[in-house]
Copies of this chain bind each other. A is one copy, B any other.
């Protein structure tokens, strides 16, 4: 049926993803051969230590510590990079592309910082650079954005792209856990690192947001363009209040096209209406919600991380690259640099909580500060807290800069004991 062609695969790294990929190539070899004609062979595997014991069954004759030798081996047809980090991954990928070899990578950090250089190198070489596993792990997202939706006028992409923080927020919501207890549980389950900063402060989600924005809007967005806030300041009280009003609290990565020319990219916790599909994404699952002018609303849901799910995404890319070798490459090409809309100029509705002295006239004083910055209050609730009171506000949509100035001025008031969490509120 299909012309059979042998495809020699060079794999850089043999950890969870690289090892999982080797397992899948072995298990699914015959199915892929029958369906595509690609006879996939693991030809060489670059590792840090040859003697280390591994879960995966790999012929030790294929192992080498010289990654550059794998990339430069004329017998290697496709290179899969699973070592992570910026260097030497960047140099190895550029060398593979320059040698006319398609590359598959799961390297979020590299793409979020040097994506444009790599996409341009792939285009110049006329070969594929595929990276489905770099964002939202196992979820087919990059391919639908790059192919199915290439002609779609996408207006906004909102994603839950960090499983650790979604697990923590789910535990806080469903078990009433505190942030610290939920984090400790995530750490004990291996969902969170011992130093959880990259996850809980939104750095990981920010890198993914940059990649999503680049692919969705066809412009170069880097991690440094992404405004980010994390979840470490969120309290049980915030989540309980959001639940009472019909919202779930989620850490969202949001990329949107503003006035058709500028791109706004940010990561922050948000109140999401319970009727919105993102609200029901629980535990460590990821989901990405895409809004298009013609297609309407789409959502892609699945495992954001994990060795075998990520290996599955790499495997899909590998098959694509392997079957594309003879037909030349598809790539993002040279992306123009994005025009970035500053977070200061984005409008959102806000949830704000303030601990104030429980005395007459406080609300008038506080409300005057909102008014002075043109921030309009949609609703207010007051809760007693012993000698203090807590005021919880939801604002109408307001410019970020005006809200930040409001918060700064509120913090200066004698009657304000503490400015609590701020959450942006997503509409229906």
- Residues of A at the B interface (CB closer than 8 Å) are 1-2, 20, 24, 27-28, 31-32, 34-36, 123, 132, 138-140, 143-144, 147-153, 218, 275, 277, 279-282, 285, 287, 292, 294-303, 306, 308-309, 311-313, 315-316, 318-320, 323-324, 327-328, 330, 333-334
**Contact indicator A123/B328 (Cβ below 8 Å):** no
- Give every chain B residue within 8 A of A281 (Cβ-Cβ): 277
**Contact indicator A140/B149 (Cβ below 8 Å):** yes
Q: What CA separation (Å) do A312 and B279 show in the bound complex?
A: 26
- Give every chain B residue within 8 A of A279 (Cβ-Cβ): 280
**Contact indicator B296/A152 (Cβ below 8 Å):** no
Q: What CA separation (Å) do A282 and B273 show in the bound complex?
A: 14
- Give every chain B residue within 8 A of A150 (Cβ-Cβ): 32, 35-36, 316, 319
- Give every chain B residue within 8 A of A218 (Cβ-Cβ): 31, 34-35
**Contact indicator A147/B316 (Cβ below 8 Å):** yes
Chain A to chain B contacts (Cβ below 8 Å), 21 pairs: A20-B294, A28-B152, A31-B151, A34-B218, A35-B333, A36-B150, A138-B298, A140-B144, A140-B149, A143-B147, A149-B312, A152-B316, A275-B282, A277-B280, A277-B301, A292-B312, A295-B303, A296-B306, A296-B309, A298-B301, A299-B302
Closest residue of B by beta carbon distance from A27: B153
**Contact indicator B292/A298 (Cβ below 8 Å):** no
A167 CB to nearest chain B CB (Å): 15
Q: What CA separation (Å) do A324 and B326 show in the bound complex?
A: 12
A42 CB to nearest chain B CB (Å): 14
**Contact indicator B1/A334 (Cβ below 8 Å):** yes
- Give every chain B residue within 8 A of A295 (Cβ-Cβ): 138, 302-303, 308-309, 312-313
- Give every chain B residue within 8 A of A302 (Cβ-Cβ): 295-299
**Contact indicator A330/B323 (Cβ below 8 Å):** yes
**Contact indicator A308/B294 (Cβ below 8 Å):** yes
Q: Report if A298-B140 is in contact (Cβ < 8 Å); known contacts: A148-B313, A316-B147.
A: yes
- Give every chain B residue within 8 A of A287 (Cβ-Cβ): 299
**Contact indicator A316/B153 (Cβ below 8 Å):** no
Q: Report if A139-B32 is in contact (Cβ < 8 Å); known contacts: A151-B24, A315-B151.
A: no
**Contact indicator A139/B298 (Cβ below 8 Å):** yes
With most chain B CB atoms within 10 A of its CB, the pick from A20, A298, A320 is A298
Q: What CA separation (Å) do A260 and B1 show in the bound complex?
A: 22
Closest residue of B by beta carbon distance from A2: B333
Closest residue of B by beta carbon distance from A37: B333
Q: What CA separation (Å) do A281 and B280 show in the bound complex?
A: 10
- Give every chain B residue within 8 A of A132 (Cβ-Cβ): 148
Q: What CA separation (Å) do A2 and B292 show in the bound complex?
A: 25
A120 CB to nearest chain B CB (Å): 10
**Contact indicator B151/A296 (Cβ below 8 Å):** no
